[in-house]
Structures are given as structure tokens and as C-alpha cells.
């Protein structure tokens, strides 16, 4: 797969800044890594909008870890491997489950206050977990973590945070296959700058915005993934997209999640005829894996000619207190969860694939690391176990920083080298006339939802491929620089997802092909990765 190396132009006399660790993204992965790195050198966090905007801040259900005395890393591993449907990297899962409890304790020490009951942690249960092991802060766990980590970052003398700083491109030397910095667009001043660092860490989150229905916030446009691809990183497992079954139904692009922990606490699903249907699809009923529940909902809505099914929370004792965030949001939309059924339908939720990394967060490009949802560490395989993502977010930063000795030894790159290495021939050229980025986004979201969504087949994927290529060729720059950059990134990522989804002629985890509906371990216990060449 071939694409360009840059989407921005390196303008003469661009202001230049040095730091030791440059972290792109201020979700759980970026913030936690920053705190760890700050023990070794200067850290700069750049984030594209405000610190509030991330998937992290929206996370509801909680963070999974074998912290309970009757639980064990082994049991957590069993559930993670089962969910991952044969494609997890066992070494990575071992790191996740065995180092996870210690990192979670650090998170608590950093100020993340999880719910307690009778003096002990109040664990909740979510789909495909063999036991209750999810720590939570009511139904707004991510925000509790985010606020605690932001406070730590703001008070640390070695950490600088800059909002409204958008990663355009990664900078490096293509022959040496290294990365030493980033080209950044400051959206408040409308100016660009160069940041050079000894280590560049991509923590830019997932790709949910590629889909017309998603739980993900506006920032989830796969920028870091696409920039890493352009500079030569391997991008793996992109056919595996997780669709969350229960998202509050509405026609808005950014939709509100109704946490899986609602079903963990006894919430039940009904079709619009009032029939409880999950027993037709899985003995695990409402707590079956997300892909199974999402397809079941799709099947019920198709059969009944409705756009949604109902989630009944009325039988959950104390639902209003246990789920205050969900209660409030539903009430704002005229739904009282204690009396009314909640209309829900699936939405794109999580990107299992990403920038392929080693167990130490290394990308294969010297100096460039990735962590959090942007990375593919191998812990999720074909499907992520609920609440393993926040956990992954606090794990690999520590491991990247374990190499701080080596990192701090790296020499500083001189300004003139940056200009020498930047080859203008590799800058993406937009069409002179055609579709503007904002319109292209809507078109892309519909194509992806329709043909590269919960159920896929060869014909639909090929059609999606052609339509995305057309958008890629005919998109103009428009008048909004940010929208343009994001759209090139989304189109690049869409091409990778479609390519991988066409390649995998079987169904497994977050990838379901109606023309190959069976899991086929004989031929497909393998991974797809793409590299820009
Ligand atoms: P994010 O938190 O998404 O942060 C990405 C950061 O990168 C943002 O600050 C963004 O602004 C920045 N960024 C992006 N592009 C650029 C750019 N070009 N330049 C500069 N900065 C950029 N997981 C769980 O484990 N438990 C849960 O209960 C849970 N609930 C969820 C509920 C919702 C509604 C959603 C959407 C996800 C949920 N998840 C949950 C998944 C989990 O929240 C995410 O996978 C995780 O928070 C990702 O963290 P991150 O740090 O990798 O990315
Ligand atoms: C949820 O609360 O349902 C989301 C949990 C997750 O995505 O891990």
C-alpha cells in the first residue's frame, strides 16, 4: 500500500522547540506516560483540542484488573484470551494482567477514587468477564481518572501541556528509519511549529469517527496512526473494529454510550415487540461478547423494521445512584431510566488494531513509540475484553520509559537537518476541484457504516474501497486546515481497514463477513499488517 509521507508543508522559519519526551495526546495513555517520563527528563504533551476531549474522559464502565483477593492474573488472562478469539499475543496479555494490578494501585495513589462498598473496592461485572473485576467511579470512571492525571501533570515541574496543538506529521530521516520530531499546527494562532525530542510517543487514540454511528468523540480521527503509517510504521489488525451494542439511539453522529455494566447489573434487552431476545443468540444472554450482542441487535432491528431495540434498566435496584451520568443524560432526552425503556443501537467503539509495537512500546522506527488505543500491542487480538483498554493505557507508558536511559542518551537533531530531511516530493497533493473535507467526512462515515461495519461482505467492501479511493483523489483542501488534515488521515485509515477486511476471509471477533461466517483457525490464525513503501 503506497501513500505520501507528509500531509503538511514545512514552511521556512518555522519556530522550533526542544523537549526530551514529546507526547502526542492527552488521554489516559499520554497523561500516564508523561508522569512516568517526567522522572527522567523534560516532557511536553501536545493535544489537539482541549484537555477535556478524549475517549478517556467518556469511559464509563471501568478499568479491569485482578485486584480482588479471589481473582488472579491467570483468570484475567483466560478471559482476555477468550475475548481475543485466538489472536492475542500471549506475552502482551501476560504483561497486561500481571503488571496491571500494580499500575492500578498507582492510579489510585495518583488520586483516581474508585467506588467502595463496606470498606472494600466495589467491583462490577461486564460482558465476557468470568467474575466481577472492574473497578469503577460510578458510571464516569474515565473522567475520574482523567481529572486525577491532569492534576498530576499540571503540578509537575517537568511537564508542559499545550492544548490546541495538532500533530500534522512526524519528522525523521527516511534512510535511517528514525523519527526525531513532529510538525505541529497551532489551531489558535493558525501557525505551525516544529517540536524535536529524544523520544516521540503517539497516544492519539482510536478511529471511531470513521463511522456514522460511534461512541467516540470528535478527536478520534486516527491522526497519529495515519502519521505513523506515513513515516513507515507497521499498522496491524485493522480489520478488527469493536462495535458497542448499546448506544443511546439518536441521529447525532456523536452518540451517548449506555455502559455494558448496565447489563452487568441486570439490564435486559427487548425488541420493539417486547420480546427478550438474547437467548436466541447466546447462552450468555445480555453478557455475551459485544460482537455477538451487536449482531443480535442488528438482526432484531432488521426483523422488526425498527432502528433500535430497548434496554430495560427498570429492574436494577438503585439504578439512578449506580448510574448517575446515564440517568442524567437520559433524563435530558426525556427518558427516565427508572420507568422507561431506553432505545439503543450499536455504534463503532474501539479500534483493536493500530501502530504495531513491541512489548516496550517500540514501533520499529527508531525514536518513535506508541501506546493506548493508537497502538496495537497485541493484548486485544480480534476483540477487546471490556474495560481492558483503560488498563492498557496505563501499562505501556511505564514500559516505554523503562528505556529512558537509552532515550536520554540520544543526540539532539540540529535545525538544518530537519529541513534537509524533509522531501517536498512526498507531500500529499489535494485535488484542485472536488469534494470539500466536511462533505467528504459525512460521505466516508456513511460508506464505512454501510459496508465496513458490523456485517461485511466482499461486494460491499470492494464498493467501499472504490468510493474511498474516489474521495481520496477528489478531496480539495477546503478552507479549514484542521478538517483537511483530519480527513486525509481518516481516508488513509479507511483504506487500511478495507484492505485488511477484504483480506480476512473468515469471521472472528470484531470482524464478521456474511460471505465467510465461520471462524477458520486452520487458515486464519494470522495477522495482517500494512506498511507504507
Ligand atoms: P484518548 O483518550 O482517545 O486520547 C487521545 C488523545 O489524543 C486526545 O487528547 C486527543 O485530543 C489527542 N489527539 C488525537 N489526535 C491528535 C493530533 N493529531 N494531535 C494532537 N493530539 C491528538 N475502556 C475501558 O477500558 N473501560 C471503559 O469503561 C470504557 N468506556 C468507554 C466509553 C466510551 C464512550 C468510549 C468512547 C470509550 C470507552 N473505553 C473504555 C475505551 C477507552 O476509553 C479508550 O480506549 C481509551 O480511553 C483510549 O485512551 P487513549 O489515551 O489511547 O486515547
Ligand atoms: C462500557 O462501559 O460499556 C464500555 C466499557 C469498555 O469499552 O471497555
- The answer to whether 356 touches 258, Cβ cutoff 8 Å, is no
Which of 55, 140, 244, 256, when mutated, tests ligand 2's pocket best, judged by the most ligand atoms within 8 Å of its CB?
244
Average pLDDT of the segment spanning 443-463: 98
Grid cell locating 197: 525530542
Question: Residue with the nearest Cα to atom 7 of ligand 2?
Answer: 386
Residue 251 confidence class, pLDDT cut points 50, 70, 90: confident
132 in the same domain as 187: yes
CA–CA dist 73, 95 (Å, integer): 10
The answer as to whether 123 is a domain residue is yes
Q: Which three cell numbers stand for residue 329?
A: 443524560
- Specify the length of the chain in residues: 533
* Residue partners of 157: CB distance under 8 A and separation at least 6: none
Least-confidence region, from 6-10, 250-254, 394-398, 446-450: 250-254
Can you tell me the distance from the alpha carbon of 144 to that of 126, in angstroms, rounded to the nearest whole number? 19
- pLDDT score, position 92: 98
Parallel/antiparallel/unpaired status of strands 191-202 and 368-370: parallel
Helical H segments across 41-120, by residue range: 73-83, 90-109
Q: Check: CB of residue 163 under 8 Å from CB of residue 51.
A: yes
- Confidence label for 128 from pLDDT (cuts 50, 70 and 90): confident
Q: Which residue's alpha carbon is nearest to atom 29 within ligand 1?
A: 59
For 394, the grid coordinates are 496505563
Query: Ligand 2 centroid to 151 CA: how many Å?
Result: 24
Tell me, what CATH number does 285's domain have? 3.90.700.10
Is 483 contained in some domain?
yes
Same domain for 272 and 233: no
- 96 with 200, same domain: the answer is yes
- Taking only the tens place, the pLDDT of each residue in 178-197 is 999 999 999 999 999 999 99
84: domain CATH number is 3.50.50.60
- 401 has a pLDDT exceeding 70: yes
Tell whether 324 and 371 lie within a shared domain: no
DSSP string for residues in 129-192: -SS--EE-STT-HHHHHHHHHHHHHHH-TTEEEESSEEEEEEE--TTTTB--EEEEEETTTTEE
Residue 321 lies in a domain: yes
* Domain assignment present for 157: yes
CB-hemisphere CA count at 13 Å for 367?
A: 28
Quick one: three-class SS letters along 412-446?
CCCHHHHHHHCCHHHECCCCCCCECHHHHHHHHHH
Nearest to 353 by CA among 384, 375, 370, 369: 375
Q: From ligand 2's centre to the CA of 62, what distance in Å?
A: 7
Structural domains in the chain (count): 3
Distance from first CA to last CA of the chain, Å, rounded?
7
Backbone angles phi, psi at 182, to 5 degrees: -145, 145
Q: Which atom of ligand 1 is nearest to the CA of 216?
A: 36
- pLDDT class for 503, splitting at 50, 70, 90? very high
The answer to whether position 383 is within a domain reads yes
446 vs 436: CA distance, rounded Å: 16
Q: How far is CA 141 from CA 24, 149, 406, in A?
A: 22, 13, 35
Closest of 339, 298, 295, 294 to residue 316, by C-alpha: 339
Beta pairing partners, 456: 513
Same domain, 142 and 49: yes
Residue 425 lies in a domain: no
Residue range 127-144: mean pLDDT, rounded: 94
**Mean pLDDT value of segment 41-46:** 98
CB 512 within 8 A of CB 454: yes
**Which atom of ligand 1 sits closest to the CA of residue 260?**
28
Question: Last residue of a domain, which of 417, 446, 473?
Answer: 417
- Ligand 2 site, residue 260, Cβ cutoff 6 A: yes
Mean per-residue pLDDT for 128-145? 95
Are 107 and 206 found together in one domain? yes
**Pair 224, 269 in one domain:** no
319 and 439 fall within a common domain: no
Over residues 425-442, mean pLDDT: 96
Please compute the mean of the pLDDT values over residues 266-293 and round it to a whole number. 96
CA distances from 212 to 255, 324, 346, 359, 394 (A): 10, 27, 11, 33, 29
DSSP letters of 254-311?
Answer: B--B--HHHHHTT-EEE-TTS-B-GGGT-TTGGGS-HHHHHHHHHHHHHHHT-S-EEE
70-111 confidence digits (pLDDT tens) = 999 999 999 999 999 999 999 999 999 999 999 999 999 999
Sequence-distant (6+) residues with CB within 8 A of 527 are: 87, 236, 237
User: How far apart are alpha carbons 200 and 21 in whole angstroms?
Assistant: 6
Whether 465 shows a pLDDT value over 80: the answer reads: yes
* Stretch among 107-116, 124-133, 145-154, 495-504 having the lowest mean pLDDT: 124-133
Q: Is the CB of 215 under 6 A from ligand 1?
A: yes
Query: Using one digit for the tens of pLDDT, what is the confidence trace for 304-354?
Result: 999 999 999 999 999 999 999 999 999 999 999 999 999 999 999 999 999
Q: Which helix (H) or strand (E) holds 65?
A: none
> Within this chain, do residues 371 and 343 fall inside the same structural domain, yes or no?
no
Kindly report the average pLDDT of the chain as a whole number.
Answer: 96
Residues 234 and 368 in one domain: yes
For residues 348, 261, 328, 216, the Cα torsion angle rounded to the nearest 10 degrees is -20
- Examine the pLDDT at 127 and tell me if it is beyond 90: no
Strands 159-162 and 43-46: what pairing?
parallel
Is residue 35 situated within a structural domain? Answer: yes
Same domain, 456 and 387: no
pLDDT (tens digit, 9 = 90+) per residue, 355-400? 999 999 999 999 999 999 999 999 999 999 999 999 999 999 999 9
Is the confidence at residue 253, as pLDDT, over 70? no
392 C-beta closer than 6 A to ligand 1: no
pLDDT at 1: 63
Going by C-alpha positions, the residue among 56, 37, 47 that lies closest to residue 389 is 56
| 304 assigned to some structural domain | yes
Q: Is the CB of 203 under 6 A from ligand 1?
A: yes
320 secondary structure, DSSP code:
H
**Cα gap 475→119, rounded to integer Å:** 58
CA of 446 to the centre of ligand 1 (A): 22
pLDDT band at 261 (very low <50, low <70, confident <90, very high): very high
Average pLDDT over residues 428-450: 97
Atom in ligand 1 nearest the alpha carbon of residue 486: 18
CA distance 217 to 162: 19
Q: Look at residue 254 in the predicted model and tell me its pLDDT.
A: 73
463: domain CATH number?
Answer: 1.20.58.100
- Calculate the CA dihedral of residues 227, 229, 234, 239 and round it to 10 degrees: 100
Q: Is the CB of 389 under 6 A from ligand 2?
A: yes
Give the number of whichever ligand sits closest to the CA of residue 128: 2
Closest listed ligand to the CA of 264:
2
CA neighbor of 493 nearest in space, from 179, 237, 213: 237
Which of the residues are catalytic?
A: 290
User: pLDDT value at position 533?
Assistant: 79
Mean local confidence (pLDDT), 62-70: 96
Q: Which ligand is nearest to the CA of 163?
A: 1
Read out DSSP for 365-426?
SBTEEE-GGGEE-SSSTTSPPTTHHHHHHTTHHHHHHTTHHHHHHSPPPPHHHHHHH--GGG
pLDDT at 12: 94
pLDDT band of residue 512 (cuts 50, 70, 90) is very high
Closest ligand relative to 216 C-alpha = 1
Relative to the CA of 384, which ligand 2 atom is closest?
8
Is there a single domain that holds both residue 172 and residue 287?
Answer: no
Residue 451, domain extent: 431-522
Amino acid at each position: 500500500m503506497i501513500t505520501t509521507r507528509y500531509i503538511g508543508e514545512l514552511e521556512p522559519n518555522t519556530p522550533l522547540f526542544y523537549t526530551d519526551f514529546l507526547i502526542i495526546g492527552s488521554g489516559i495513555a499520554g497523561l500516564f506516560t508523561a508522569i512516568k517520563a517526567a522522572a527522567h527528563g523534560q516532557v511536553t504533551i501536545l493535544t489537539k483540542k482541549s484537555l477535556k476531549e478524549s475517549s478517556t474522559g467518556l469511559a464509563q464502565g471501568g478499568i479491569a484488573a485482578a485486584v480482588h483477593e479471589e481473582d488472579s492474573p491467570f483468570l484475567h488472562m483466560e478471559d482476555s484470551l477468550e475475548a481475543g478469539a485466538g489472536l492475542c499475543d500471549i506475552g502482551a496479555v501476560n504483561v497486561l494482567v500481571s503488571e496491571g494490578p500494580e499500575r492500578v494501585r498507582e492510579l489510585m495513589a495518583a488520586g483516581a477514587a474508585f467506588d467502595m462498598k463496606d470498606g472494600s473496592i466495589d467491583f462490577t461485572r461486564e460482558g465476557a468477564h468470568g467474575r466481577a473485576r472492574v473497578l469503577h467511579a460510578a458510571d464516569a470512571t474515565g473522567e475520574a481518572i482523567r481529572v486525577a492525571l491532569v492534576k498530576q501533570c499540571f503540578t509537575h515541574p517537568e511537564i508542559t501541556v499545550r492544548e490546541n496543538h495538532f500533530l500534522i506529521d512526524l519528522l525523521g530521516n527516511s534512510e535511517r528509519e528514525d523519527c526525531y520530531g513532529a510538525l505541529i499546527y497551532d489551531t489558535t494562532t493558525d501557525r505551525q511549529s516544529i517540536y524535536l525530542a529524544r523520544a516521540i510517543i503517539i497516544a492519539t487514540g482510536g478511529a471511531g469517527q470513521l463511522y456514522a454511528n460511534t461512541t467516540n468523540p470528535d478527536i478520534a480521527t486516527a491522526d497519529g496512526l495515519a502519521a505513523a503509517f506515513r513515516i513507515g510504521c507497521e499498522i496491524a489488525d485493522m480489520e478488527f473494529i469493536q462495535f458497542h451494542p448499546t448506544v443511546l439511539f439518536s441521529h447525532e453522529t456523536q452518540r451517548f454510550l449506555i455502559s455494558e455494566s448496565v447489563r452487568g447489573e441486570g439490564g435486559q434487552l427487548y425488541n420493539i415487540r417486547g420480546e427478550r431476545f438474547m437467548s436466541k443468540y447466546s447462552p450468555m444472554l445480555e453478557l455475551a461478547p459485544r460482537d455477538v450482542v451487536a449482531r443480535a441487535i442488528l438482526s432484531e432491528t432488521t426483523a422488526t423494521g425498527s432502528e433500535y431495540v430497548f434496554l430495560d434498566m427498570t429492574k436494577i435496584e438503585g439504578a439512578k445512584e449506580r448510574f448517575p451520568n446515564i440517568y442524567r443524560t437520559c433524563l435530558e432526552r426525556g427518558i427516565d431510566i427508572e420507568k422507561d425503556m431506553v432505545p439503543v443501537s450499536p455504534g463503532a467503539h474501539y479500534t483493536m488494531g493500530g501502530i504495531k509495537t513491541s512489548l516496550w512500546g517500540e514501533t520499529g522506527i527508531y525514536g518513535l513509540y506508541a501506546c493506548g488505543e493508537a497502538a496495537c500491542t497485541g493484548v486485544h487480538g480480534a476483540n477487546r475484553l471490556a474495560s481492558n483498554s483503560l488498563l492498557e493505557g496505563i501499562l505501556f507508558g511505564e514500559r516505554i520509559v523503562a528505556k529512558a536511559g537509552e532515550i536520554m542518551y540520544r543526540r539532539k537533531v540540529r535545525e538544518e537537518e530537519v529541513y534537509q530531511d524533509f522531501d517536498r516530493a512526498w507531500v500529499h497533493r489535494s485535488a484542485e476541484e472536488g469534494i470539500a473535507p466536511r462533505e467528504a467526512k459525512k460521505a466516508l462515515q456513511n460508506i464505512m457504516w454501510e459496508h465496513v461495519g458490523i456485517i461485511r461482505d466482499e461486494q460491499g467492501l470492494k464498493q467501499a474501497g472504490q468510493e474511498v479511493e474516489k474521495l481520496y483523489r477528489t478531496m480539495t483542501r477546503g478552507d479549514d486546515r484542521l478538517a483537511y488534515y483530519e480527513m486525509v488521515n481518516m481516508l488513509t485509515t479507511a483504506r487500511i481497514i478495507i484492505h485488511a477486511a477484504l483480506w480476512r476471509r473468515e469471521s472472528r471477533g470484531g470482524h464478521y463477513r456474511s460471505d465467510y461466517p465461520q471462524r477458520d483457525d486452520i487458515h486464519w490464525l494470522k495477522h495482517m499488517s500494512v506498511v507504507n513503501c
